[in-house]
Amino acid sequence: MKNQIKISAVIITLNEQKALPAFLDSLWFADEIIILDSYSTDSTLAIAKEHEKVKVFQRTFDDFSTQKNVAIGKATHDWIVFFDPDEKITKQLSQEILSTLKDPKAIAYYVNREFHFMGKQIKFSGLQNDNVIRLFNKNYCAYNDNLVHEVLKASGKTATLKNKLPHYTYTTFDNYTAKMHRYSALKAKMLYNKGIKPKGYHFFFRPWYRFINQYFFKLGILDGKRGFILAYTSAFSVFKRYVNLWLLYRNIK
């Protein structure tokens, strides 16, 4: 049976040549694919243009919320699927999306993500899963203006899809930490904009608390060395956030 509701798949990219071919294939169920690229220097654009359903746009990246909202604005259809290239859209999930859209009961749908790190699924650490909206009607939804960890705000009824979404953030360790560094810099900027000043306890307590919370309270210890590495990396990222904040107040790079 033919699907009545048309779907726009929306992606934002920066140097995604590695993940992109398989990712575009996994979007077979979409009627069009919108790519908003922030001037990739690898072959992302070349790969994207080969694909018949793809429409490519380019825009300088400022923050995730703005970038994603602009990308959504380029879509022709009301219903949007918005995945990251490091998420694996399984066959079952795409079929569930299609059958859901035959008669949508909500205006936005959450998917439960599974976190994979250094080649293995993380079962604890508080990072094992999270719920994110990946299918929604754009007339009722927009990203809020958080600079990082942007959240899609849905004004209306939401529901959750049954199938899981494996999330492979990890390509290389340097890549992973680079991402953490970008986040900590953006978070520092958010705190700065709110007028929060760095205090002693930010430096001495917060990073330790993050480590202890993730490794012991949230049982990261059961994730083995991966759990330790994740907890340490997060704690360092918290530390770096406050150093960045301190630097912002002193106008030092």
Partner 1 sequence: MHKTPTLTVIIPTFNEAGYIEDALKSVAFADEIILIDSFSEDATLTLATPHVSKVLSREFDNFSNQKNEALKHAKGQWVLFLDADERVTQSLEKEIKETIQNPVHSGYKINFPHFYMNRFLYSHSDDVLRLVKREGAHFKGEVHEKLLCNGSVGRLKNKMLHYTYKDLHSYITKKESYAWFQAKQQYAKGKRATWMHFWFKPLFRFFKSYIIKGGYKDGVPGLTVAGVNAYGVFQRYVKLHLLHKSME
* Residue 236 touching partner 1 (CB under 8 A): yes
Smallest gap from residue 239 Cβ to partner 1 (A): 5
- Per the structure block, which two tokens stand in for 93? 């999930």
CB atoms within 10 A of CB 82: 23
Q: Which stretch binds partner 1 (CB under 8 A): 58-66, 82-90, 104-112, 238-246?
A: 238-246
Which of 96, 76, 210 lies closest to 164 in space, CA to CA?
Answer: 96
Q: What are the backbone angles phi and psi of residue 123, rounded to the nearest 5°?
A: -100, -20
* Residue 125 touching partner 1 (CB under 8 A): no
Long-range pairs of 57-63 with CB within 8 A, sequence gap ≥ 24: 61/14, 63/145, 63/147, 63/148, 63/150, 63/186
Counting residues that bind partner 1 (by CB under 8 A) gives 27
Task: Match 């998917």 to its residue by tokens.
Answer: 111
Smallest gap from residue 68 Cβ to partner 1 (A): 24
Write out the binding residues for partner 1, residues 71-100 only, by CB under 8 A. Answer: none
Smallest gap from residue 209 Cβ to partner 1 (A): 15
Sign of the torsion angle spanned by Cα atoms 58, 59, 64, 65: negative
Binding-site member from 5, 190, 219, 243 for partner 1 (CB under 8 A): 243
Rounded Cα distance between 107 and 123, Å, is 30
Smallest gap from residue 77 Cβ to partner 1 (A): 39
- Give the helix ranges, DSSP H, for the chain: 20-25, 44-50, 64-73, 91-100, 173-193, 200-204, 206-212, 224-250
* Residue 228 touching partner 1 (CB under 8 A): yes
Binding characters for partner 1, 188-227, by CB under 8 A (x = yes): ----------x----x---x-----------------x--
* Residue 119 touching partner 1 (CB under 8 A): yes
**Site of interaction with partner 1 (CB under 8 A):** 118-119, 171-174, 177-178, 181, 185, 198, 203, 207, 225, 228-229, 232, 236, 239-240, 243-244, 246-247, 250, 252-253
